[in-house]
Amino acid sequence: MIENCRSCGSSDLSVVLDLGEHPVPNALLQPDEAGFPEKTYPLKLAFCRACALLQVMETVPADELYRRDYPYFSSSSAALLQHARAHAQSICRSRRLGADSLVVEIASNDGYLLKNFVAAGIPVLGVDPAAAPAAKANAIGVPTLNEFFSAALAGELARGGRRADVIIANNVVAHVDAINDFVAGFKRLLKDDGVALFEFAYAVDMVKKCEYDTIYHEHLFYHTISSITPLFERHGLYVNDALRLPIHGGSLRLQVGHRREPTPRLLQLAREEQSMGVGDLSFYRDFAARVERHAAATRSLLRELKRSGRSIACYGAAAKGCTMVNYLGLGEGFFDFVADANPFKQGKLMPGERIPIVHPDALGERHPDDVFLLVWNFAGEVLRAQAGYRRAGGRFIVPLPELRIVEPGDEVHSDFAYDGGDAERIAIGRRQRPAEPVDRGGPAAAESVLGGSS
């Protein structure tokens, strides 16, 4: 359990949410391990009063998180592939990349993003500590180092003449315990006129929308402009632009460089954070109460359905789903199974509640009455893929951003659950109904302060 902020070193930490004990979310179990106890860790979220950074208190060793048959493959999501392709195309246009350029991606997974640059004839290098995704990337022609990124590795690459025009770091700046060493590596590896692009779940959206399933041990940090700006500036790097994205329930994409050149869009977002009080503990004070109200309403709905004789399965054996089902604590056997498109996960068990993971075809074959959608952030993709199950009378229970039941005939159109694209949102039609009123109120919104850049 940490006593000091991982970013600034302050001891002024205040716990804002305690989710109890949880297993490592991606440590899937083999069926013959079902009878053995699992290691669990406390899952507490704390706010640093000194630098405004939200972070979990417990540090699970990185090797335990990423080296043991890490099961996450980005290419298993069609929406994420579309998002990555659009991002890569945008970078190629804006940075005018060519055969003499170098694009480096940190936490490059199975090459799902870098392969777009390879196809355009642009040299790339991936860095990822998970062996299976890294091997898959190399197999499809995306050169990938199976390593943890660090300042030392960055220095080694730079000395070998491999400084980057563009460094991409999607959904990784929240994962690294030695965060100062990690950021120092970008300073070393990035060319003088290069840009680093960071994408991560936005803590403001998480708090406002009560997205507590985003909290798990891989996600050590929950960033805002307010909290990440001093981290970068400590290492001579500057946040110069910020784009809000709908993916994963609300994300930020930052552009970072060696010189301070803030865009009007960044300055506006920083002012909005400041006006919301994102840098103050008061913004987070009622988060725990709203989480418990949401969880209580969700438990009540699911138990009521079960008592009425309905069978319930889940969809999406993701890390966020692990947090959700283990915090709800409905017990082993409550859910019939969890469907997941990732073949690496099929045949195994989700940690904690030990839910069997099966192919999505099981929805049509076994036809549960209801499906609890754990990957609600890809609701549109799942609902479209499961059109046959829905036509046959199957219902989805979507927990966030608002708990509700999606009836078989409800149409997918505009503004309910976030899907994968930069701008696409999808919503369920008018006949969808909230499952039960849930208070997700709280602070109005949030934005941050840029040190010395106004």
Structural domains present in the chain = 74-284 (3.40.50.150), 300-434 (3.40.50.720)
pLDDT for position 429: 40
Q: What is the DSSP letter of 235?
A: T
- Percent pLDDT > 70 in the chain is 89
What is the C-alpha separation between 406 and 124, in angstroms, rounded?
42
Q: Residue 66: which pLDDT band, with cuts at 50, 70 and 90?
A: low
N-term to C-term CA, the chain:
37
Does 423 have pLDDT greater than 70? no
Q: Which two tokens stand for residue 115?
A: 């392969």
* pLDDT, tens digit, 9 for 90 and up, residues 239-253: 999 999 988 788 999
Whole-model pTM: value is 0.84
Q: What is the pLDDT of residue 70?
A: 63
pLDDT of residue 68: 57
**Crossing angle for the helix pair 225-233 and 264-276, nearest 10 degrees?**
120
**Whether pLDDT at 28 is above 70:** yes
Give the rounded distance of the alpha carbon of 304 from its chain centre.
30
Q: Which of the pair, 188 or 79, is modelled with greater confidence?
A: 188
Scan for tokens 């403001």, then name that residue: 204
Supply the pLDDT for residue 62: 77
Residue-wise DSSP of 263-277: -HHHHHHHHHHHHHT
Q: What is the mean pLDDT of residues 363-385?
A: 94
For 132-151, write each residue's pLDDT tens digit. 899 999 999 999 999 999 99
Q: Which long-range contacts (CB under 8 A, 24 or more apart) does 426-433 make?
A: 426/379, 426/380, 426/383, 428/379, 428/383, 428/398, 428/404, 431/407, 432/404, 432/405, 432/406, 432/407, 433/404, 433/405, 433/407
How far, CA to CA in Å, does 301 sit from each of 298, 305, 307, 339, 354? 5, 6, 10, 21, 21
Give the mean model confidence (pLDDT) for residues 179-206.
97
pLDDT surpassing 60 at residue 446:
no
Rounded to an integer, the average pLDDT of 221-225 is 96
**Cα distance between residue 278 and residue 235, in whole Å:** 23
